[in-house]
Structure 1
Amino acid sequence: MKFPNAQDIASTNVVYTYMQDTIEYAIEKMLEGEHRDIIVIDGENYYVLTAMEVLKLKEDHIKLSDQISHLNLRKIPAVVKETNVLNLLKYLDELSEYICVVNDDKTIYGIITHTDITSNIDPEVILDNYTIEDFLKLSRRVRWINKEVKTLDVLTHMHTSGNDSVIVVEDQTPIGILTTKDVVQLIKHQSDLTLPIKEYMNSPVDVVYKRTSVREALEFVKKKHYKRLIVVDEHDKLVGIISQKELILLTYNRWSLVMKEHQAELQEINTLLIEQNREYELMASLDSLTGLYNRHKFKQLYNSSLETMLQRLEVLSLIILDIDHFKKVNDTYGHIAGDEVLKTVAQILQDETRRIDMICRWGGEEFVVLLPTVSLEQAGQIAEKLRVKIAQTSIEQVGDISASFGVCEVKERKRLEEVIAKADELLYKAKKSGRNRVELCEGRGY
């Protein structure tokens, strides 16, 4: 079994235009084939014009009669057609899903997408006893919305967040999906974007169950030509999304086990996969919305910091904070607005603390800050500074926000659960006393 070259899996049916052409001409070609993207050639460089960028033209005051060169397009990588598919793995983290395949004279030969790679993988080499559930920890956080949200707001969210799709969820059950391919149709038909997303979403949603085998998942992707798998549990409740890229990497990992006779190729793929696994390890330690540490990683950091503190006879303080009236924000303005509040508070915490401090999104609207070598009094001052900074912050659509704080100092060996429980008591006291305030642990140390 040999790994194919780029020319073996590339699609030669490429829709493209040139940088000196008009934007209007590019859109016409895009709509003719109902493509969501079109390749733009500029000498030996290749770019992609997306449907989302077309939607932004009016906002950026760009005319359809202008040349494509007026746009700030995303450059895509180009490889010669003899390139081994192993050497394409490094491009899977590119923002664009495309890899341009060129002839020796640099003319365009074809295009490779994640779909092309997936479609050329033989599922016979995949372990049947590996299920989607085993790899959900690697999946991206799914972005879901309510069916009544205005379509224009959804498109704006897709553009600013970089998500190529949104899932419409009702009672935790996926009822619809909108992708960038659908955006092309909205443009083509000049749809009314003030209508709720339920008017344009694709429904019902094709899903796979979390106990689906990787073999079945690959066959499903090949049959449906999907870029992603929407995964549900046995009660049809949404549990996550698995991308094509994750399926590809999983498959190549399996290939590496069955190709021992190809030592040179095996060494090459192992190196690539080690690099990719490091990235996934980082992904698994972070909250996907805020970029802060998640609870699992924070527990590890607390334990190691506690040991260092005990060895050096130093102190350690912990702050827990909760955004006031956050449920009301979600209920009134929706989860997109709620996400903006969470990201804003997370940024404040990062800006106003030291590099050695460890910040975690503990869950929901709760955050925890671990402060090595900081006493209770100093931690109280830091918490007050954070409280004031948050209270001075106003968020578009939501308005002013505030948070309540509980602060503890750790001077002896304590489990994180014990410290969090004590800090939670203080947080509750702050909430009960009127919110937007800081409560410190009585006495020195806990």
Structure 2
Amino acid sequence: MKFPNIGDIATTSVISIDINSTFNETMNKMLDNEHRNIIVIDTNDFYIMSIIDVLNVQAKHIDVNTALCDLHLSKIPVISKDKNILNTLEFLNNSTEYIAVVNDDNSFYGLVTHTDITSNIDPDTLMDNYRLQDFLKLGRRMKWVNRDEKISHLLKDMVNNFYDNVVVVEDLKPIGIFTTKDIMRLVKNKTDLDVNIEQHMSFPVDSIHKNSSVREALSFIKDRHYKRVIVVDDDGLLSGIITQKELISLTFSKWAILMKEYQDELSEINLMLQNKNIEYENIASTDALTGLYNRHKFTQLYLSSYTSMVQRHNDMSLILLDIDYFKKVNDVYGHNAGDKTLVQVSHTLLKILRNVDVVCRWGGEEFLIMLPTADLEHAISIAEKLRKAIEDLCIDIVGQVTASFGVSQVREGEDMQDVIDRADKALYLAKDSGRNCVKFEADI
């Protein structure tokens, strides 16, 4: 088995422009070629200007005759066209999805994108046993709006919060999607933006079920030439979005097995692969925003701790907490302030909890905590300490927030979900009791 060279898979039909060109010249070139991005060349360095950058410049009323070198464009990594496709792995954690491909003299040859990498993954090497629902980042911020959202308001939010797509929903069912491709069309046609998104969204929406395998998702993306896939549940409700980049990361473990089988070809990059394997294991176990464990990892740790509890006849409890009025934080102060709030609350939890305790971002503004060796009384005491510490936080812009808590003790012979359900009922009782308080299963 041979993995292709970068030059064999790179896209060479790419438009580019010199960094000393003006913004106006660049935008006109993008519109004339109907490209959402353009490569900006500065001797041995390469940058990219996207349609989002165009909107940002227009929003800030920057002179259209400003040179590109005076704008803060995103620099993209560089790789030789003679390198193996496996060498692109080191770039997959970059915020940009593009890699500049160069000739031996460092002149520009083309681009490698996530699409190119995805298209060259052999489907037979993918993980058939993993389902999308196991890897959806439950804490991942996903932008969705109703059909009557004004495009003019939405574009400002996309620029400020770096969204490149928005899902349009009705009763939580995806009915359309609005991406940079749609923005490019509106900019080119100088369309009135003070209209509902429903008029310019792409529809109908192609979606995939959350029980689909990684292999099925990759085939779905490759067949339709998409950058991302919208994931739904049994009722067609929006479950999340998973990108090509995430799917590539999920295939890494399988790639590592193949690499061992073809040692002669891959020996020179084994060290890099080992380091990347550790890195991807961490990514697969943690929430991208807070760094806390995700649901998948928490479930693994719970099962291990439960076995130990039964064998040693110990106690164990769970705490489920929810930040009060968190939607108001996002609506009033913006998603960046909401993210800062989640991060500071996460840090506060880690400071107070014991080393043996496990804290997980359960989803959105909810956190789930496992307390090995703690009975219900001890767990309530810890929950009260956490509640007070969150109440005492002073968060930039937002100020003070509070949280509500539900506590339950693990009983031998019951499923994890049963324990969580009891904690959840106690949490809702705390909310009904005025919030910013701790309730436990005996209160239910």
Range class of TM-score, shorter chain = 0.7 to 0.9
**Greater shift in the superposed pair: 137-146 or 165-174:** 137-146
Q: Is the 8 A contact 1:380 1:407 kept in 2?
A: no
The CA deviation at 1:300 is 5.8
1:138 aligns with 2:135: yes
Cα distance in 1 between the residues matched to 2:233 and 2:407: 39
TM-score, length of structure 1 as denominator length = 0.76
1:350 aligns with 2:346: yes
> 1:195 maps to which residue?
195
Summarize deviations over 1:228-286 as a string: whole Å, max 9, x none: 23344565444443432344456676566567763233446765555444444333433
- Aligned CA-pair RMSD: 4.6
The CA deviation at 1:21 is 0.9
> 2:264 maps to which residue?
264
Correspondence list, 1:324-403, <5 A: 324=324, 329=328, 343-355=339-351, 357=353, 359-363=359-363, 365-368=365-368, 380-389=384-393, 395=398, 402-403=402-403
The CA deviation at 1:337 is 7.9
Q: 3-state DSSP class of the match of 2:149?
A: coil
Q: Is the 8 A contact 1:320 1:367 kept in 2?
A: yes
Correspondence list, 1:112-127, <5 A: 112-123=112-123, 125-126=124-125
**Greater shift in the superposed pair: 370-379 or 280-289:** 370-379
Summarize deviations over 1:314-337 as a string: whole Å, max 9, x none: x9997643344568x59xx87x98
Q: Is the 8 A contact 1:206 1:230 kept in 2?
A: yes
Q: What letter corresponds to residue 87 of structure 1 in structure 2?
A: N
Q: What letter corresponds to residue 70 of structure 1 in structure 2?
A: D
Correspondence list, 1:264-283, <5 A: 264-267=264-267, 274-283=274-283
Cα distance in 2 between the residues matched to 1:60 and 1:403: 38
Summarize deviations over 1:268-314 as a string: whole Å, max 9, x none: 676555544444433343345655433454466678899999xxxxx
Cα distance in 2 between the residues matched to 1:155 and 1:224: 26
> 2:110 maps to which residue?
110
> 1:27 maps to which residue?
27
**Greater shift in the superposed pair: 250-259 or 53-62:** 250-259
Q: 3-state DSSP class of the match of 1:169?
A: strand
Q: 3-state DSSP class of the match of 1:56?
A: helix
Cα distance in 1 between the residues matched to 2:349 and 2:65: 49
Q: What letter corresponds to residue 224 of structure 1 in structure 2?
A: R
Cα distance in 1 between the residues matched to 2:420 and 2:293: 16
Cα distance in 1 between the residues matched to 2:434 and 2:383: 21
1:6 aligns with 2:3: no
Identity of aligned residues (%): 46
Q: What letter corresponds to residue 92 of structure 1 in structure 2?
A: L
Q: 3-state DSSP class of the match of 2:131?
A: helix
Q: What letter corresponds to residue 350 of structure 1 in structure 2?
A: S
Cα distance in 1 between the residues matched to 2:70 and 2:441: 59
Cα distance in 2 between the residues matched to 1:222 and 1:169: 25
The CA deviation at 1:220 is 4.3
Correspondence list, 1:14-413, <5 A: 14-123=14-123, 125-126=124-125, 130=128, 134-140=131-137, 141=140, 142-209=142-209, 217-233=217-233, 235-248=235-248, 262-267=262-267, 274-287=274-287, 291-298=291-298, 320-324=320-324, 329=328, 343-355=339-351, 357=353, 359-363=359-363, 365-368=365-368, 380-389=384-393, 395=398, 402-405=402-405
The CA deviation at 1:62 is 2.2
Cα distance in 2 between the residues matched to 1:274 and 1:8: 26
Cα distance in 2 between the residues matched to 1:224 and 1:416: 39
> 1:312 maps to which residue?
none
**Greater shift in the superposed pair: 173-182 or 190-199:** 190-199
The CA deviation at 1:27 is 0.7
Structure 1 residues 378 and 149, CA gap change in structure 2 (3 angstroms): same
Q: 3-state DSSP class of the match of 2:57?
A: coil
Cα distance in 2 between the residues matched to 1:220 and 1:135: 13
Cα distance in 1 between the residues matched to 2:373 and 2:216: 52
TM-score, length of structure 2 as denominator length = 0.76
Q: 3-state DSSP class of the match of 1:221?
A: helix
Q: 3-state DSSP class of the match of 2:175?
A: strand
Cα distance in 1 between the residues matched to 2:365 and 2:256: 42
Q: Is the 8 A contact 1:320 1:423 kept in 2?
A: yes
Cα distance in 1 between the residues matched to 2:208 and 2:303: 38
Cα distance in 1 between the residues matched to 2:162 and 2:319: 32
Cα distance in 1 between the residues matched to 2:213 and 2:438: 50
Cα distance in 2 between the residues matched to 1:255 and 1:297: 22
Equivalent residue pairs, number: 430
The CA deviation at 1:39 is 0.7
The CA deviation at 1:104 is 1.7
The CA deviation at 1:49 is 0.9
Structure 1 residues 368 and 5, CA gap change in structure 2 (3 angstroms): closer
The CA deviation at 1:45 is 0.5
Q: Is the 8 A contact 1:289 1:339 kept in 2?
A: no
Cα distance in 2 between the residues matched to 1:306 and 1:259: 36
Structure 1 residues 186 and 228, CA gap change in structure 2 (3 angstroms): same
Q: Is the 8 A contact 1:356 1:372 kept in 2?
A: no
Q: 3-state DSSP class of the match of 2:128?
A: coil
Q: 3-state DSSP class of the match of 2:293?
A: coil
Structure 1 residues 354 and 235, CA gap change in structure 2 (3 angstroms): closer
Gaps of 5+ in 1: 310-314
Structure 1 residues 382 and 92, CA gap change in structure 2 (3 angstroms): closer
Summarize deviations over 1:365-413 as a string: whole Å, max 9, x none: 43345789997767635522422447x8875xxx986433457999xxx
Cα distance in 1 between the residues matched to 2:366 and 2:251: 37
Structure 1 residues 416 and 223, CA gap change in structure 2 (3 angstroms): closer
